[in-house]
Structure 1
Amino acid sequence: MSSSGDGDDFTRGVEDGLRLSKRIYFGKDRSVAPPKPLTPMEKATRSFYPASPMLYAVIFNPGIVDNPDVPSYQPHVHGRCDPPALIPLQMNRIQLQLECYLDTAFVTMTGSWRLHCVMASAASDCRLAIPMGGLQGSILGVEVELTRKSYKTQLVVMDEKGEAESAAKPEDGGFLKPHIFTLTIPQVDGGSNISVKVRWSQKLIYKDGDFTLDVPFSFPEYVTPAGKKLTKKEKIQLSVDVGLGTEVVCKTASHQMKEQKRVVGKLGFVYEKEVLTWSSSNFVFTYQVPTSNAFGGVLLQSPSSLTIDQKEFFSLFLFPGTDLSKKVIRKEVLFVVDISGSMKGRTIEVTKSAIIAALSKLDQGDSFNIMAFNDRTYLYSSTLELATEEASKKATDWIGMNFIPGGGTNMSLALSQAVEMLSGIKQSIPMIFFLTDGTVEDERQICEVMTKQLKNQGPELCPRIYTFGIGSFCNHYFLRMLAMIGRGHFEYAFDADSIVARMGMLFSRAASTVMMNIAIDGLDDLDALQVYPSVTLDLCSEGPLVVFGHYRGGFPDTLKVTGILADMSNFIIDLKVQRAKEIPVDKVLAKQQIEHYTSQAWFSQDKKLEEKVAKMSMQSGVVSEYTRMVLLETIQIQEKHASTSSGVKKGKKESIEIREKCEMIKVLQRLGIGFGNLVATIENMPPGYEPKLPDQAEMLVRTAGNCCVNLCGKCCCMCCIQACTSINDQCAILVTQIITGLAFLGCFACCELCCDGQ
């Protein structure tokens, strides 16, 4: 995952790119004015992260920025942009193909952009940015077409020598944010058209019986091609297949959809429109299964010749329906929060806000307690307290006084005490919310101890463990395994800004539990049975219960699912078993399978299971910890061959043969979330910290650049030192010395960029 610094460079690059794009002259009849300078208020509230698929020109040398069709012969500029400016490219075509199966959507985006901002005699890299809906999706592949050249991504297994690590650069590609994938296309000629096809998967939002698909489709006005007002076509093709033999009805759509297909369990729609400007809102589509009762089914799938595991595959889906969703369950909640030294700064402050926000969402009748831990544990109260307004206020004060980062990370002690505190509860559901930003040496032992402790609870409801990871130094697969052992769920936040929202989602999902202690009857007679997850989780109103596995033998016609409802009554439902004829169940569950198998491989240290995950990853296109994404380049090469005609000799003729040459040109950064960083945890490094020692030249350039940016609000170069009246003499002398000594390296240099409005 990319660091926050890379994200800062991205947003600053887009802001500078919008200013730099004013150099482009489109002629007197242009219909699109250049982007206006942003006011300080707009800069504070506007995000430069993409809200739709976008392509940017990566500009190091501002001198190449010009209209490739109508050169404007602007004055030469000196210097380089550092970080590079990112000019949003104009988009000529966009189309979405959406396929919804069960709780997952597969998105195929095809679009065309033009490198309209680089002179025809020059070339620049182009950076693709794809915001995927939600954080539970997965990038599945990218294809790019240029004249006589094409690129595509592919997953491969790399050796363990670490050679790829040093070759991978953040700017080449990876996740800018957990939901924004980027990829750099090298050296595109000015004026070229760039065709892009991107595939990704994302989870549907399920709540109160409604399925909602939300796909990024909100384009800024400056990607509309300049020139005469010509209509452009945007198209969205949508298909829905619930796959459980139930009816499905459309509720709402953000764009005007035309129905093409309606049969039992299936819908088909198309949106096609001629527009002057591109869509300014996401595509949002909501549908439901018109039943108030819980519903679901079991789908069977035989292995193909390419499938890794040649046993039969089954998947069970159970949705709660609207009736179960209305029943509120009483909760006994214990927040267990890491306050070790690495949590210092903004991380602990937003963690405080996240816990206080969760306290405010407790219902009347719920009880709570708070435990902070580092080397020791610190309790808010010796017993659970009712969630009254007065108790919440006291807890908020206690958090402010006791959430002070310092010391090490003793997870085992905290978890054991937490499980012991919530043991023996019968009439409500006990929940532990465990938050940490680090990893420890005894994580496998912790999982074994927790398994034994929870099994010894007897007939009562054993404590549910919900885990929350902060940053990349914690072991996400340990936390995922711990949550599975505790029948809970795992969530994470890679930066401090998303902790409150992501923690809120985890708490909301836990609070929506409608059925507990779920058991599946009817699988005992199957051979070679493997079921995942090994412990059946609770059913929530904000998502289905999903169980999958492999088997041999004859599968029964129905499976019986039993559980305990919110009012402690028993629940039984029979689920019909059917063959998955039109639903690609293996694709729908590929990401979930890979995550479960990876957790198991980490816990058991099973190399064969790691190899299985790697093969599944390459086959499905879903990234894993054991595969790397690479960029392949295919070039069309023209070769001339001499030939002589038959019969009377009339001299030699030349024939032109076109052949393709394909090679791997880049290895991208690791796209997995990793197994934690023990050294960083021991040294109490805060999340996202990446130590780097710049050389003296880099320090001088950064110092000068920061100085000038702070004073001018822009950048500096030789041609604008005298022009910027707000720069002081000492800074001007320093910048002059640096530019002379370092051959114009440093900040970017373009008078229009530097002195805009001055």
Structure 2
Amino acid sequence: MADDFEKAVEDGLKLSKRIYFGKDRSVAPPKPVSAMEKSSHSYLPSAPMVYAVVSNPAIVDNPDIPSYQPHVHGRCDPPALIPLQMNGIALEADCYLDTAIVTVTGSWRVHCVMGSRHCDCRIAIPMGEQGLVLGVEVDTPRRTYCTQQIAMDEKNDMEKAAKAENGGLLKSQIFTFTLPQVDGGSNLLVKVSWSQRLLYIKDQFSLNIPFSFPEYVTPAGKKISKKEKIQLNMNSGPGTELLCRTTSHPLKEHRRQVGKLGFLYESEVLQWSHSDFIFSYTVSSSHIFGGVFLQSPSIIDYDQRDMFCFYIFPGDQKSKKVFRKEVVFVVDISRSMQGKPLEDTKNALSVALSKLDPKDTFNIIAFNGETCQFSSNMELATQEAIEKAKQWINMNFLLGDGTNILLPLNQAIEMLRNTRDSIPILLLITDGAVEDERQICDVMKSQLTSQGSICPRIHTFGIGTFCNHYFLRMLAILGRGHHDAAYDADSIEVRMKAFFDKASSTVLANITIGNMDNIDDLEVYPSRIPDLLSESPLIVSGRYRGAFPETLTATGILADTSNFFVELKVHKAKDIPLDKVLGKQEIDVLTAQAWFSENRELEEKIARMSIKSGIVSEHSRMILLETQKGKKETEATGVPEKQVPSKIELQKMIDSKGQKTIMLRSLGTGFGNLTATVENTPPGSEGEKLPEAAEIFVKAASNCCGRLCNHCCCLCCIQTCSRMNDQCAIALTQLCGALACLGCFYCCEACCSGHDG
């Protein structure tokens, strides 16, 4: 699907050569990409972009300066995508704890379609680490659009959502949707917001936002104003100190308070940003520290219990020890892993083995329908043992049919029994779903509760969307571990290496929170608190009623087996949107619990949470509301101020106001695909395949005509034709007509003579 998108953009750039911008054009036409550059060049969006969807090449022209255009036969099937020129862009990022809320507002112009014609416009929003779209608003001259989450709790609704053709994820971090019938020459004002995770590496937070615009979105003309704005706000809470490290753009500090920083960059530019926005900072501390945030629910919140979250940061861990590890790698080698998934897994596994300390122990279990063990016992991670393991991987990672997850998990748990002075770690990697997933969770739950003081930690990694990520997340919750995933084939090796590093960096285990016994109606997400890792802060949230203590206490075990104690001070989080910062984690945890318990009421609760916060869930769907201009401003919002509408109420409200509902494709991962697993379908086959690569002209056109039209669309030819006098143009037209007649006679002769032509 991404390849088809890139080909459509490439064809759109070729088609845009038909556009004539006059003599004062200040921007050169898109440069052709050479054959050597094509391997590394990508037409996937690296910043928010808008494209004209062109099926009929004849409508392509400058809406301000109509020019002579050679007629083009045929249609683009599938349509070409012409990147629109951008008039202005503003980026605002608010960083809280380990999450950033990003809002981008931009203006684009349909510069490539005749003023009397219209086309669809496709909007593409690339997001950063674990990006999750929160909402979109679009303003066009005739219509406005906004997104809305609705509950999907009926079979007909689910079938309708499954058939939705608009919107969805081009790749795991690129959200796209299409607006119908936008007039040529009109301006689009787009505002989109999403949440993304801050990377945390070696006590440093890093924010990376796609903000690299290609040269061909720069408006033509020297007098057009091009304004670029970036605003960055950081809030780590009271009692902390923020230290800036690096930045990619020239930010100027305009606000500094305790635990808060604000930066601003605003300028008229000649060219748009050519690099992603990157900013890194540290929450300074040389030791483990944390705190607690409290917040009252809003009026429209379905759950009127107060919100809380406590966080623990590992601090500067250069002098801190990590636990000695006993690691069992449990790796899926079913036939669906063939090709890149298996090779990337082998590479990442080899790197992870090389990073083990000589005092660590390890083992490897490969499984499909059967299992294969590297050793009958845990092996010390000596250089000799690691080299032997790498050779074993190359010889024994042989693909086979079937996916039996329970058997290797039981074998791994048995190997990790009775560990002392170390952290037992089970790392599960799979790309498939199995029928007995709930039984596996039940077995693991009973196995882990019967273990000693430090039970095995289960960390899970899913590849693609055919595996049930909520099953894998539930396993991680039960095992006090973490879950991660690679939805795209290109990201498997990078994400898996980071996953192994993270899982191997435990600095504080068996964490318990004190002073919470007297809190009423307490609910914690997740219920089993994971360990604190040097590569990731620990954030746990929940709901409660009644009085909350002024301080909490966190206790645990350090790597040297000594006991740890820290006091967590409680603060009111008045200016931190906890529902959006914590919403994704809470919805994921509750969705895993709802799947495991098959609890219908919990599914409805998740849908209500999703509608209120705008965060995508498996039990809700995103729709696009289209409103004709001229409606009252109160009617355009679609949502009353003081209540969250139910699905039926929302539909009645939409119908009464004449709004049109456009169903978008599901943005969730689903609950696995047993059929694809049984059939050994490889990851990456999830997306709906578009027709073959876009071609500017239909197959009926001959190759020579296609080559001729490609040259006729070039800027030089258009400029030459525009300077012809009338007599020359008439003579050229008569010559072309004569040639066309000769061609028709030849075609008739070939068709009627009875001979092969």
Q: Aligned-pair distance for 1:578?
A: 2.2
Output one character per residue of 1:339-374: Cα deviation in whole Å (capped at 9) or x when no partner: 223223333232222222322332333222111112
> Residue 659 of structure 2: which of 656, 659, 663 is its match?
663
Partner of 2:540: 547
| Aligned counterparts of 1:362 and 1:753: Cα–Cα separation in 2 | 62
Corresponding residue for residue 514 of structure 1? 507
In structure 2, the CA distance between the partners of 1:420 and 1:753, relative to structure 1 (3 Å rule), is farther
In 1, Cα distance between the equivalents of 2:716 and 2:702? 13
Range with bigger deviation, 426-435 or 222-231:
222-231
> What is aligned with 1:740?
none
- Report if the CA contact (8 A) 1:249-1:287 is conserved: yes
What is the rounded CA distance, in whole Å, between the counterparts of 2:462 and 2:713 in structure 1?
Answer: 42
Matches within 5 A, 1:519-598: 519-598=512-591
For 1:41 and 1:245, the matched residues in 2 are separated by 54
In the alignment, the residues of structure 1 paired with residue 251 and residue 343 of structure 2 have an alpha-carbon distance, to the nearest angstrom, of 45
Identity of aligned pairs, percent?
60
Provide, for residues 432-491 of structure 1, a one-character-per-residue CA deviation record: whole Å limited to 9, x for no partner: 1101111112111111111111111122x2211110111111111000010111111111
User: Paired residue for 2:611, among 618, 626, 630?
Assistant: 618
Alignment counterpart, residue 227 of structure 2, candidates 224, 233, 236: 233
User: Whole-Å Cα distance in 1 between the matches of residues 149 and 24 of structure 2?
Assistant: 47
1:20 is paired with a residue of what secondary structure?
helix
Deviations along 1:605-632, one digit per CA (max 9) or x if unpaired, are 1111100100000100000001111111
Residue 371, structure 1, aligned to residue 365, structure 2: yes
TM-score by length of 2: 0.87
The partner residue of 1:751 within 710, 719, 734 is 710
Partner of 1:738: none
Which residue does the alignment assign to 1:86? 81
1:426 paired to 2:408: no
Provide the residue aligned with 2:169 in structure 1. 175
Q: Please, which of 284, 287, 295 is the counterpart of residue 289 of structure 2?
A: 295
Instruction: Please say if residues 171 and 184 of structure 1, whose CA atoms lie closer than 8 Å, have aligned partners that are also in contact.
Output: no
The amino acid that maps onto 1:530 is: E
- TM-fit CA distance, 1:182: 0.7
Match of 2:672 in 1: 676
SS of the counterpart of 1:259? strand
Q: Deviations over 1:225-284 (max 9, x none)?
A: 012265521111222111143222333322222222111111111111121001111122
Q: For 1:679-720, what per-residue CA distance to the aligned partner results, in whole angstroms no more than 9, with x for missing partners?
A: 2222322223369999xxx8xxx6xx89xx8xxxx8665554
Deviations 1:312-365 (A, max 9, x none): 222111111104774233222211111223223333232222222322332333
SS in 2 for 1:409: coil
1:208 maps to which residue?
Answer: 202
Assess if the C-alpha contact under 8 Å between 2:169 and 2:667 holds in 1: yes
Tell me the secondary structure at the aligned position of residue 383 of structure 1. coil
Once the two structures are overlaid, the 10-residue window that deviates more, 279-288 or 84-93, is: 279-288
Query: 1 CA distance for matches of 2:372 and 2:32?
Result: 52
Query: What amino acid is the match of 2:325?
Result: K
Q: How far did 1:575 drift?
A: 0.6
Q: Counterpart of 2:261?
A: 267
Paired position in structure 2 for 1:492: 485
Aligned pair partner of 2:447 in 446, 453, 463: 453
Q: Secondary structure at the match of 1:501?
A: helix
Question: Which aligned pairs between 1:101-112 and structure 2 lie closer than 5 A?
Answer: 101-112=96-107
Q: Is the 8 A contact 2:327 2:427 kept in 1?
A: yes
Q: Does 1:304 align with 2:295?
A: no
Q: Contact 1:148–1:636 at 8 Å: present in 2 too?
A: yes
User: 8 Å contact 2:515–2:553 — kept in the other structure?
Assistant: yes
1:689 and 2:671 are equivalent in the alignment: no
Contact 1:58-1:86 at 8 Å conserved across structures: yes
Residue 196 of structure 1, aligned match among 190, 193, 215: 190
- Cα deviations across residues 160-185 of structure 1 (Å, max 9, x unaligned)? 32456456667621111111111111
Matches of 2:214 and 2:689, distance apart in 1: 38
Please say which of residues 109-118 and 15-24 is displaced more in the overlay.
15-24
By how many angstroms is 1:154 displaced?
0.9
**1:709-724 aligned within 5 A:** 717-723=699-705
State the structure with bigger RCO (CA 8 A, min sep 6), 1 or 2: 2
Q: 1:692 to 1:309 in 2, by over 3 A?
A: closer
Q: In structure 2, what is the equivalent of residue 744 of structure 1?
A: none
Aligned to 1:141: 135
Equivalent residues of 1:54, 1:130 under 8 A apart: yes
Structure 1 contact 205–213 (Cα < 8 Å) conserved: yes
> Could you tell me how far 1:192 is from its partner in structure 2?
0.8
The residue identity in structure 1 corresponding to 2:337 is M
Aligned to 2:640: none
Q: Distance in 2 between matches of 1:377 and 1:753?
A: 63
Alignment deviations for residues 173-200 of structure 1 (CA, whole Å, 9 cap, x no partner):
1111111111111111111111000011
- How many residue pairs align between the two structures? 695
CA distance in 1, matches of 2:76, 2:278: 38
CA drift at 1:402: 1.6
Kindly indicate whether the alpha-carbon contact (under 8 Å) linking 2:51 and 2:84 is maintained by their aligned counterparts in 1.
yes
Query: Which one is further off, 321-330 or 360-369?
Result: 321-330
Structure 1 position 89, deviation (Å):
0.8
Q: Which runs of 5+ in 2 are unaligned?
A: 633-655, 718-757
Counterparts of 2:336 and 2:468, CA distance in 1: 15
Relative to structure 1, the CA distance from residue 90 to residue 557 in structure 2 (aligned partners, 3 Å threshold; closer, same or farther) is same
What residue is the counterpart of 1:252 in the other structure? 246
Taking structure 1 as the reference length, the TM-score comes to 0.87
Q: Distance in 2 between matches of 1:406 and 1:757?
A: 59
3-state SS of paired residue (1:751):
helix
CA contact (8 A) 1:597 1:613 kept: yes
For each residue in 1:523-546, what CA deviation from the matched residue of structure 2 results, as whole angstroms up to 9, or x when unmatched? 112222222211110101222111
Aligned to 2:599: 606
Residues 17 and 715 of structure 2 are in contact (CA less than 8 Å); yes or no, is this contact kept in structure 1?
Answer: no
SS state of the match for residue 188, structure 1?
strand
Q: Deviations over 1:554-592 (max 9, x none)?
A: 222211111112222221101111222222222211111
What residue is the counterpart of 1:340 in the other structure?
Answer: 334
Matches within 5 A, 1:430-449: 430-449=424-443
Gaps of 5+ in 1: 1-5, 640-659, 726-748
C-alpha separation in 2, matches of 1:415 and 1:15: 47
Superposed displacement of residue 638, structure 1: 9.3
**Secondary structure of the structure 1 residue equivalent to 2:448:** helix
Q: Is 1:396 equivalent to 2:390 in the alignment?
A: yes
Would the alpha carbon gap of residues 175 and 121 (structure 1) be closer, same or farther in structure 2, given more than 3 Å must change? same
Q: Which amino acid aligns with 1:671?
A: L
User: Which residue of structure 1 lines up, in the alignment, with residue 7 of structure 2?
Assistant: 12
C-alpha separation between the residues in 1 aligned to 2:162 and 2:19? 33
Q: CA deviation at 1:750?
A: 5.4
- Aligned residues: CA RMSD: 2.6
CA distance in 2, matches of 1:144, 1:165: 27
SS in 1 for 2:669: coil
Distance in 2 separating the partners of 1:155 and 1:622: 8
Q: Distance in 2 between matches of 1:379 and 1:715?
A: 56
Question: Which residue in the other structure is 1:48 paired with?
Answer: 43
Q: What SS does the corresponding residue of 1:400 show, helix, strand or coil? A: helix
CA distance in 1, matches of 2:27, 2:702: 29
Measure, in 2, the Cα distance between the counterparts of 1:148 and 1:207.
Answer: 47
